[in-house]
Chain A
Amino acid sequence: MDIDNVRKVAKLARLDLSEADLATMTTQLSAILSYVDQLKELDTDNVEPMAHPLPLKNVFRPDELRPSLPVDEALKNAPARSGDFFAVPAILDAGDDLSH
């Protein structure tokens, strides 16, 4: 893990980190990763890959309507609202809508 990796991950997570923060994060994240890397010492050749830690599968619910929140309740925690919409700072590049 080098500082450029951290810079990239921070950018993707929309975190604005100072150079000092980036250096601290690089040290801390490296420590975490090397701790987790200890798992590589285990021989997992004959272990099935696991998609979920719980031995559960096929959990479904029926297609039945449940009450939604009243609109005021839904918007209560929003920093800003505009009518019954969530309001967010102007999305300058509307083309962003297309990128996912």
Chain B
Amino acid sequence: MTLLEPLFAGLGQLRAHKLRSLLTLLGIVIGVAAIIAVVSLGEGLRREVISQFIFSGGAGMIEVEPPRQWVRKDGRWVRRPWEEYLTEADMAAMQREIDGLHALVPEIHGSAALQRGKTTVDASYTGTSAAFNEGFNWPVLGGRPLNADDLRLARKVCLLGDDVYGNLFQGANPLGKEILLNGDRYVVVGVLDERVRFGRSDGNIVLVPYTTAQKRLRGEDHFSELTLFVEDLDAVERVVAAVRRVLRRHHEHGDEFRIETSQGEIDDANEVFRVLQQVGGGIAGISLLVGGIGIMNILLVSVAERTREIGIRKALGAKPRHILGQFLAESVVLSMVGGLLGILTGFGFGLGAAFVIQQLAPGAPFTSIVSAESVLWAVGFSSAVGIFFGVYPAFRAARLDPVEALRRT
């Protein structure tokens, strides 16, 4: 007797009692659907959050900031006795000495009062380079990114975020047009793609060459921060150490520069979702338990109904293990069919929930991700439930006395 035969026989039983089987399966279906929905929604949400934290969508991010320059002393804010900045020398050294960098983004932040004709817009500017678009994975929609000449000559050129562009130009072609930035004339060379994080737009921004920001807007020769992107998440630690080495070499208080990695935030997010998934998993487990008891019940009914059949089979030479196998197979088939239905239901539910979330938070690129792993878990779990709850009824069937069993009608 092959392994498949009892499975087919199990399917036959299921077909013979469609409604009854379906009702029995409901518990398993709900349990597995819950596993799939929770796991796949959680996974989609987790990836989303992680990619929000580290804009580059998968690569590791390291932010470097100078120590706080101002401290409170005797009720007054005073500048620290040592003044240290992030400078171009720091950036150049990092660029030169650190392998595996995806992008190194300099940033100088400030507020920008923008004007075109009679229209005024309050936004913020970021003095940076083309590495900005690389690192933050924020493409230029039209026009061009900042180039080497812009930086070298500290040109008064800018790229507009999509909100700024919309407010100032209302859809007109902005390329080559002049706008006023804090009262000075700048030429628009490009427009940034839209960017929405957690349902809010980042598009109220203007990019200018960092040299321009340093010389013309702030009158300082340093950066607000440097952001390094590494291709390989595992390289984050190594890069942090290298950054620290550069800072120590260049600065007296190099240890006090702040270096933050995306890893901490990713860990936090992972932790939250791990808990969420555990709770979901617990719910799923309980419904699988209930489903399993349902299966046990239906199998006991099935054994009672088919006592005579068992008697006949035993009279014809079925060994206890044959009968045991027959009912276990039936139980496993039942629960696996339930598992498969549950996977489909859970998948549909995940998609539905993702859709609803997108309606509530427009623009959130939220997805439901069904991993092969979760499907394996669901199938494995449901067949384990089938075996576990099938054992007792199957044993009862296997131990029936042939003469007693045959006497039943």
| Real binding pair | no
By a beta-carbon cutoff of 8 Å, the part of chain B in contact with chain A is none
By a beta-carbon cutoff of 8 Å, the part of chain A in contact with chain B is none
